[in-house]
Amino acid sequence: MATGLVRRAWAKLNLFLEVTGRRGDGYHELDSLIVFAGTGDRLEMFPANDLTLEIGGPHGAALSAGADNLVVAAARALRQSAGKTVGARIVLDKRIPVAAGVGGGSADAAAALDGLNELWRLGLGEARLRELGITLGADVPVCLFGRPALVRGSGEIIQRAPPLPPAWLVMANPGIALATPAVFEARRGAFSEPHDWPPDVKTLGDLIAALEERRNDLEPPARSLVPEIDRVLAALADLPGARLARMSGSGATCFAIFATAEEARRAAALLTGREPGWWVAAAPLLHGKLAAGWRGADGAEEG
Ligand code: C5P
């Protein structure tokens, strides 16, 4: 069978996410350390006359393939900006949960922009793709950037994070979709002050200590909307080897940080046994540009 052009859409995690203000247009100003974990969706793109999207995978049923799908929206925005009437058959293998705080939709949109830019030989640079991306979702630009990043503004101010130590992540989602706008609306109280991230985080202990100084400001409102998040955080914190447990994005996915692959895989297996209804995944924190190298903790092959 012919293979198309493949892009992976890695899970995005906010190691911390502080809300530092609210803009006139209602969007919030954020201060966040965003990393990617080596598990995620997979997009395959083929030349075609029309633009079509087929969705499969364990979380595919939760998505529509219509114009509201971020992959379709990304393809249309790219095509319009290029002024071309090109098509593509896009096959999305949806492996990470939807509306879950791990950037699935944004990562898919970023993968579509990047892949179709190549498939259609448009030659747009990353800066232009990011401009298109921010109109689709706040996390699309950082997903295009694809490396650990300190992100400010509403997602458009992206700075490469200083080097981080090797780490493994166990992610858990209780299967309850949580819409981002509702979580922002439920947020109460004062805004956080922006802080500098220390430039000299060398060991995992340094990373945990630095993260303990920060938090996810969306955790309290998300927990008020989905009390199950309390159980997810407690279950992750209780796993042997877990160094820190926190919610990602606007939830409901939470993660725990581990030192080694063995610890993380053992912990994920234990959690799956305890909570068979949850989505649980273990994957490394990805340090470099994501398109190359890592083949995916889910065993996926790179194209
Ligand atoms: O852009 P995205 O689709 O990720 O955002 C969904 C919603 O979350 C926005 O419409 C907005 O209500 C809220 N949001 C926000 N501030 C941000 C990001 C998202 O208020 N920086």
Q: Please check the confidence at residue 271 and state whether its pLDDT lies above 80.
A: yes
Q: What is the DSSP letter of 252?
A: S
Spatial separation of the C-alpha atoms in residues 171 and 268, rounded to whole Å: 8
Task: Determine which residue's CA is closest to atom 13 belonging to ligand 1.
Answer: 181
Facing residues of 8 across strands? 42
Tell me if 141 CB under 6 Å of ligand 1. Answer: no
Please give the average per-residue pLDDT across 265-271, as a whole number: 98
Q: Which has the closest alpha carbon to 71: 107, 121, 117, 125? A: 107
Q: Please check the confidence at residue 303 and state whether its pLDDT lies above 90.
A: no
pLDDT digits (tens, 9 = 90+) for 110-124: 999 999 999 999 999
Q: Is 155 left (phi over 0), alpha (psi -120 to 50) or beta?
A: left
Q: 248 is written with which tokens?
A: 């990602």
Nearest ligand 1 atom, CA 153 = 21
Please give the average per-residue pLDDT across 272-299, as a whole number: 78
Tell me if 28 CB under 6 Å of ligand 1. Answer: yes
Task: Determine which residue's CA is closest to atom 9 belonging to ligand 1.
Answer: 181
Report pLDDT for 297: 55
Please give the average per-residue pLDDT across 204-226, as a whole number: 98
Tell me if 46 CB under 6 Å of ligand 1. Answer: no
Residue 228's pLDDT band (boundaries 50, 70, 90)? very high
Residue 104's pLDDT band (boundaries 50, 70, 90)? confident
Give the global pTM.
Answer: 0.94
Report pLDDT for 233: 98
Task: Determine which residue's CA is closest to atom 21 belonging to ligand 1.
Answer: 154
* Amino acid of residue 54: E
Tell me if 12 CB under 6 Å of ligand 1. Answer: no
Report pLDDT for 238: 98
Spatial separation of the C-alpha atoms in residues 281 and 67, rounded to whole Å: 30
H-only helix segments in 83-172: 104-119, 126-134, 140-145
Q: Cis peptide leading into 252, omega within 30 of 0?
A: yes
Q: Please check the confidence at residue 299 and state whether its pLDDT lies above 50.
A: no
Span from the CA of 137 to the centroid of ligand 1 (angstroms): 7
Please return the burial class of 135, using the count of CB atoms within 10 Å of its CB with bins 0-12, 13-18 and 19+. exposed
* Amino acid of residue 50: D
Beta-carbon contacts of residue 41 (< 8 Å; ≥ 6 apart): 8, 9, 57, 92, 93, 94, 95, 96, 104, 107, 108, 111
